[in-house]
């Protein structure tokens, strides 16, 4: 039989796990590169840029726009790819709390 108190307890457990998982996103990191590895950008799960590495050979070039374009490309790639890691971490942190309901995406809009 349907037990509303049981469902409410599971929802509260889910919320608590989700809050903890979101706090842990700062520890998920991903590094992407552009220009055959000349530019590397590391981001975390809350979409903060942690580190930018630039190959020293790029600084000998006169065209700074190339460096800017490569940094932009690596940053966008890292931010895009970290989204999947974040989704996996959130699903893992909350798995088994609520039943699998087809079509219900509880993580939609979190990223």
Higher pLDDT: 8 or 45? It is: 45
Helix-strand-coil split of the chain, %, nearest 5 = 55, 15, 30
pLDDT tens, residue by residue, 45-92: 888 888 898 888 877 767 778 888 888 888 888 888 888 888 888 888
Confidence of residue 33 (pLDDT cuts 50, 70, 90): very high
**Where are the domains positioned within the chain?**
27-94
The closest alpha carbon to 39, from 47, 49, 29, 48, belongs to 49
The closest alpha carbon to 85, from 17, 24, 42, 29, belongs to 29
| SS3 category, 40 | strand
Assigned CATH for 27-94: 3.30.1310.10
Helices (H), 34-96: 64-94
* pLDDT higher than threshold 90 for residue 31: yes
d(CA 81, CA 44): 10
């Amino acid at each position: 039989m349907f037990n509303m108190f049981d469902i409410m307890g599971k929802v509260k457990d889910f919320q608590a796990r989700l809050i903890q998982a979101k706090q842990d996103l700062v520890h998920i990191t991903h590094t992407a590169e552009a220009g055959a590895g000349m530019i590397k950008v590391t981001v975390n799960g809350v979409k903060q840029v942690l580190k930018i590495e630039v190959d020293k050979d790029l600084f000998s070039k006169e065209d700074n726009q190339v460096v800017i374009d490569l940094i932009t490309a690596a940053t966008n790639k890292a931010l895009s790819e970290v989204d999947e890691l974040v989704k996996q971490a959130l699903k893992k942190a909350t798995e088994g709390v609520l039943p699998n309901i087809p079509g219900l995406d509880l993580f939609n809009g979190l990223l």
